[in-house]
Amino acid sequence: MYTRIYFLRFPKETSDQPIIYYLVKRYDVEFNILKADILPQREGIMIIEFKGNRENIREALSYLKDLEVQVERLAGKVSRDDEKCFQCGACTGICPVGALYMQRPEMAVLFDPDRCSGCGLCVTACPVRAMTVSFDQVVVEEF
Amino acid sequence: MSEYTVNKSYAEINARIRAGEAVVATAEEMIDIVREDGPVAAARRIDVVTTGTFSTMCSSGAFFNFGQTTPTIKAAKVWINKVQAYAGLAAIDIYLGATEPAEDDPLNKVYPGEFRYGGGHVIEDLVAGKTVLLEAKAYATDCYANTKCKKELCLADMPHALLCNPRNGYQNYNCAVNFSDKTVHTYMGTLKPKCRNANYCSAGELSPLLNDPLYRTIGLGTRIFLGGGIGYVTWHGTQHNPNVLRSSGGTPRQPAGTMMVQGDLKQMSARWLRGVSLQGYGCSLAVGLGVPIPILNEEIALFTGVSDKDIFTQVIDYGHDYTNRIQRNYGEVSYAELRSGQIKVAGKKVPTAPLSSRVKAVEIAETLKRWILDKKFQLGEPVAHFPTADFSLDDKE
């Protein structure tokens, strides 16, 4: 499953259109709205997570672009507090990209930020909340 | 008359510890020692084997006496940092359980709940030296006139604080999978549908009770590493069940024995007592526990030489079977297989993840070893033993 988080800026002309509805209906994209601020006849913003196959998400994004919705990818930056982490390994079963993994035979839990997709699943899976995700980094998506 | 070639007493081993002559090995080191030298030679050479485990352990908590107020109070309801403690003991004695969530916690109303703060976190905060807010309500009596109190205090302000865990250090535990078609959030972690991951929770070859499978040395009065300080085994734990299926080496193949442990909270460390939040399940406490095993004879040496490839557990479905108490397993796996990162369940390869920290278990066993070598820690001889199973190594050979 391909998961990405986007920051969308809707021009005020689009505020009365059911855009998200079409994303689901036409492109079969699963979504999760993380934040939205949309008012009639005003520019709107939304932080939304898309899940689905890569091709569908790509087409959905190009549909948004055609409507002149500004799309930026929010790359969640996940970091680990090494003081808090007690190296149990619970996160390694949840991490979908293997960024959190066990080093054998010592069974040390390692975190490779380069492999991390920023999905944030580890944040609540960690019993001592050693993982945090922040969205302060905005990266322009390349189509 | 003894049936063993090697016979040592607790007193002899303690005398060697005091003289700085004791030979101590961790349970991990003992595996090779027994394999290379055999149990008799290992028993002659090694005096103590140290074990360790660090993981979430429900059935933990602490007794506190929080000090009187003026006028006096007979507290009926007590909260520490909004987490309710049981107050029906005496005037100001309370018991705070590790799994008690904060009173304003949304629980699973928005599923899966996060359970950010509970009894285990209060214990960690107190041991870390943080100030907590204690609130109490009471009815007035002639000798206890106060009806409410609210005070900020830290662990040093409490006249008495005792970590008292009715069930810790489970001897073996299930390997959890989920055969249902939706994700489940359990005390065994998040389990993906259709058996796409497996979680397990034991220190295996380092675990205290797996190194003393028939409770020959661990009993009432055994002195232990508890939460970074010194504690004691004070009873067999709740749900202690020695009568389960066992391997030829004596280790149980499913959850079996447990220990009740306690110790003065004030000498413990927040590094080894950690409040935990298990998504969708609740709060608890991760406890660092280490038990020294005196090598009294070659049989105990053999037991402590156990390795992960000789310890087995059952694969249990937590998507349906566990909740409905259906006695069924999806096969047996060894801890060596679990530790490899992949097991086979119903013919399918399934990735595994541990919930018990191997790194910390090793650190506890090493710490306990150092304490003994530094003559800071002597063995406690049990005054009574746990209920055990009728089992003999010879029968199975």
Q: What is the mean pLDDT of residues A32-53?
A: 85
Q: What share of chain B is helix, strand, coil (3-state, %, to 5)?
A: 20, 35, 45
**Measured between beta carbons, which residues in chain A are less than 8 angstroms from residue B189?**
90, 93-94, 125
Taking the C-alpha atoms of residue B390 and residue B392, their distance in angstroms, rounded to an integer, is 7
Please give the single-letter amino acid code of residue B260.
M
Does A105 touch chain B if contact means CB atoms closer than 8 Å?
A: yes
Does B346 touch chain A if contact means CB atoms closer than 8 Å?
A: no
Q: Residue B341: its pLDDT value, please?
A: 97
Does A129 touch chain B if contact means CB atoms closer than 8 Å?
A: yes
- Which residue stretches of chain B have pLDDT < 70? 1-2, 394-397
SS3 B314: strand
Contact B194, B203 (CB under 8 A): no
| Mutation site for A-interface testing, chosen from B32, B124, B308, B357 by largest number of A Cβ within 10 Å | B357
Helices (H), A4-139: 19-27, 54-66, 121-125
Q: Confidence class of residue A143 from pLDDT cuts 50, 70 and 90?
A: very low
Is 60 exceeded by the pLDDT of residue A137? no
SS3 B319: coil
Taking the C-alpha atoms of residue B169 and residue B52, their distance in angstroms, rounded to an integer, is 9
Farthest CA pair distance, chain B: 72
Please give the single-letter amino acid code of residue B209.
L
Report whether the peptide linkage leading into residue B292 is cis, meaning its omega lies within 30 degrees of zero: no
Query: Cβ contact (<8 Å) for B56 and A105?
Result: no
Q: Confidence class of residue A35 from pLDDT cuts 50, 70 and 90?
A: confident
**Which CATH number is associated with domain A79-132?**
3.30.70.20
Query: Cβ contact (<8 Å) for A89 and B355?
Result: yes
Does B275 touch chain A if contact means CB atoms closer than 8 Å?
A: yes
Does A110 touch chain B if contact means CB atoms closer than 8 Å?
A: no
pTM: 0.88
Q: Confidence class of residue A37 from pLDDT cuts 50, 70 and 90?
A: confident
Query: Cβ contact (<8 Å) for B276 and A124?
Result: no
Q: Which residues of B are catalytic?
A: 143
| Mutation site for A-interface testing, chosen from B186, B190, B284, B345 by largest number of A Cβ within 10 Å | B190
Which residue of chain B comes nearest to A107, CA vs CA? B358
Which residue of chain B comes nearest to A128, CA vs CA? B276
Contact B169, B53 (CB under 8 A): yes
Is 60 exceeded by the pLDDT of residue A140? no
- Enclosing H/E stretch for B111: none
* Burial (Cβ within 10 Å: 0-12, 13-18, ≥19) of residue B296: buried
Taking the C-alpha atoms of residue B92 and residue B153, their distance in angstroms, rounded to an integer, is 14
**Measured between beta carbons, which residues in chain B are less than 8 angstroms from residue A89?**
353-355, 357-358
Does A83 touch chain B if contact means CB atoms closer than 8 Å?
A: no
SS3 B19: coil
Q: Residue B111: its pLDDT value, please?
A: 93
Taking the C-alpha atoms of residue B292 and residue B372, their distance in angstroms, rounded to an integer, is 9
Is 90 exceeded by the pLDDT of residue A136? no
Among A88, A94, A106, select the one facing B190 at the smallest CB separation.
A94
ipTM of the complex: 0.92
Which residue of chain A comes nearest to B203, CA vs CA? A88
Tokens of A46: 């939304």
Among A86, A89, A107, select the one facing B286 at the smallest CB separation.
A86
Class of domain A2-73 (CATH, top level): alpha beta
The contacts of residue B193 (CB under 8 Å, 6+ apart) are: B178, B180, B181, B182, B183, B319
Return the higher-pLDDT residue of A16 and B65: B65
| Mutation site for B-interface testing, chosen from A84, A85, A86 by largest number of B Cβ within 10 Å | A86
Q: Residue B2: its pLDDT value, please?
A: 63
Q: Confidence class of residue A120 from pLDDT cuts 50, 70 and 90?
A: confident
Taking the C-alpha atoms of residue B115 and residue B186, their distance in angstroms, rounded to an integer, is 13
Query: Cβ contact (<8 Å) for B276 and A128?
Result: yes
Tokens of A39: 């008012």
Give the Cβ contact number of residue B312 at 10 Å: 23
Residues present in chain B in total: 397
B306, B308, B307, B263: which is closest to B287 by C-alpha?
B263
Q: Work out the minimum CA distance from B98 to partner chain A, whole angstroms.
A: 14
Q: How many inter-chain contacts (A to B, CB under 8 Å) are there?
A: 75
| Mutation site for B-interface testing, chosen from A88, A91, A92, A106 by largest number of B Cβ within 10 Å | A88
* Residue-range domain boundaries for chain A: 2-73, 79-132
A79-132: same fold as A2-73? Answer: yes
Query: Cβ contact (<8 Å) for B274 and A94?
Result: no
Angle between helices B27-45 and B358-373 (to 10 degrees): 30
- Enclosing H/E stretch for A111: strand A108-111
**Measured between beta carbons, which residues in chain B are less than 8 angstroms from residue A88?**
55, 286, 354-357
Give how far Cα B302 sits from Cα of A135, B27, B174, B210, B365, Å: 54, 11, 24, 12, 18
Cα first-last separation, chain A:
19
